């Protein structure tokens, strides 16, 4: 039996593999990657590396074995038909007879276009008959803290979320939940709504940035259309800019507030406070 992580060298996947290495022997972990060079550090530690691509169904032939537990981390290629990409993994997992397929989805409350592929993938997974776990991940702190340069340069947090609030958490927090499911028992056919312990708004975010930097950083809310234009102007592809602006519209409606407590319960600890994530980003 192996614990198999797809997208293992991505932002979330790396955290998952690192945390798995703390709990199970390296030879029980399979990291699925497109570029094996990026996984050289894992290979050196004894992790099995499998090379496969969501866009090439044949690369998943024989990759899984009966009894495996699989984490399907959702793809990031918004323009390549993510549901079909994910279905390739689901079909291969079903053919092998895996014990569990966990999927990183989006909160049930999210109506933004970003959620469409997740809903489609969930339907495909449920229709497969595989034992499943839906990890409905909320938003990541890093979606904001990894992009601080323009905020600090212009002294402004610019978003299209109005006074909306969200309960984000760190990638490491969401990884801890995934690891708990992959290494624990009794998670078959369960759905977890995952989000940070504390909801916050962008005015608070700007205030915390001001406090930690000693500068004056304001929150400047803009319309969804204006925000989409700003993102496109910063070099994001049009479809991705539209998706991210749509998420802000959902934040304004409160659709990314997740108050179940599932994330801290699965992780076995409180989620990472936003202030801590800001501090780590500023030091980095």
Q: Return per-residue pLDDT of the chain as tens, 284 residues.
A: 899 999 999 999 999 999 999 999 999 999 999 999 999 999 999 999 999 999 999 999 999 999 999 999 998 776 667 899 999 999 999 999 999 999 999 999 999 988 999 999 999 999 999 999 999 999 999 999 998 999 999 999 999 999 999 999 999 999 999 999 999 999 999 999 999 999 999 999 999 999 999 999 999 999 999 999 999 999 999 888 999 999 999 999 999 999 999 999 999 999 999 999 999 999 98
Continuous H helices in 24-170 = 40-44, 82-96, 114-128, 142-145, 148-154
How far is it, in rounded angstroms, from Cα 218 to Cα 156? 5
How far is it, in rounded angstroms, from Cα 197 to Cα 270? 7
Q: Is 81 exposed, middle or buried (0-12, 13-18, 19+ CB in 10 A)?
A: middle
Asked whether the beta carbons of 250 and 271 are under 8 A apart, the reply is no
Q: In whole angstroms, what separates CA 59 from the centre of its chain? A: 23
Asked whether the beta carbons of 137 and 104 are under 8 A apart, the reply is yes
**pLDDT for the residue 50:** 97
What is the bridge-based pairing of β-strands 100-105 and 69-72? parallel
**pLDDT for the residue 1:** 84
**pLDDT for the residue 79:** 63
**pLDDT for the residue 78:** 64
**pLDDT for the residue 67:** 97
Pair of tokens at residue 104: 């990183």
Quickly count: other Cβ atoms within 10 Å of residue 204's Cβ: 15
The tally of CA atoms less than 13 A away on the side-chain side of residue 221 is: 14
Asked whether the beta carbons of 189 and 131 are under 8 A apart, the reply is yes
DSSP class of residue 4 equals E
């Amino acid at each position: 039996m192996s614990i198999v992580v797809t997208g293992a060298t991505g932002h979330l996947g790396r955290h998952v593999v690192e945390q798995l290495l703390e709990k199970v022997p390296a030879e029980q972990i399979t990291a699925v990657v497109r570029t094996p060079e990026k996984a050289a550090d894992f290979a050196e530690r004894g992790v099995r590396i499998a090379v496969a691509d969501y866009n090439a169904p044949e690369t998943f032939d024989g990759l899984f074995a009966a009894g495996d537990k699989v984490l399907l981390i959702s793809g990031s290629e918004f323009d390549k038909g993510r549901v079909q990409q994910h279905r390739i993994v689901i079909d291969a997992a079903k053919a092998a007879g895996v014990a569990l397929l966990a999927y990183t989805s989006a909160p049930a409350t999210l109506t933004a276009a970003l959620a469409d592929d997740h809903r489609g993938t969930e339907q495909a997974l449920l229709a497969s008959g595989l034992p499943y776990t839906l990890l409905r991940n909320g938003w990541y702190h890093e979606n904001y803290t990894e992009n601080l340069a323009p905020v600090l340069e212009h002294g402004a947090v610019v978003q299209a979320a109005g006074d909306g609030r969200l309960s984000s958490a760190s990638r490491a927090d969401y990884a801890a939940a995934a690891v708990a499911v992959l290494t624990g028992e009794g998670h078959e056919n369960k759905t977890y709504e995952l989000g940070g312990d504390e909801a916050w708004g962008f005015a608070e975010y700007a205030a915390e940035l001001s406090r930690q930097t000693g500068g004056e950083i304001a929150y400047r809310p803009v319309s969804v259309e204006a925000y989409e234009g700003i993102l496109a102007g910063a070099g994001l592809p049009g479809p991705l800019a539209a998706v991210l602006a749509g998420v802000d519209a959902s934040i304004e409606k409160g659709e990314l507030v997740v108050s179940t407590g599932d994330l801290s319960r699965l992780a076995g600890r409180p989620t990472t406070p936003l202030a801590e994530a800001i501090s780590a980003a500023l030091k980095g």
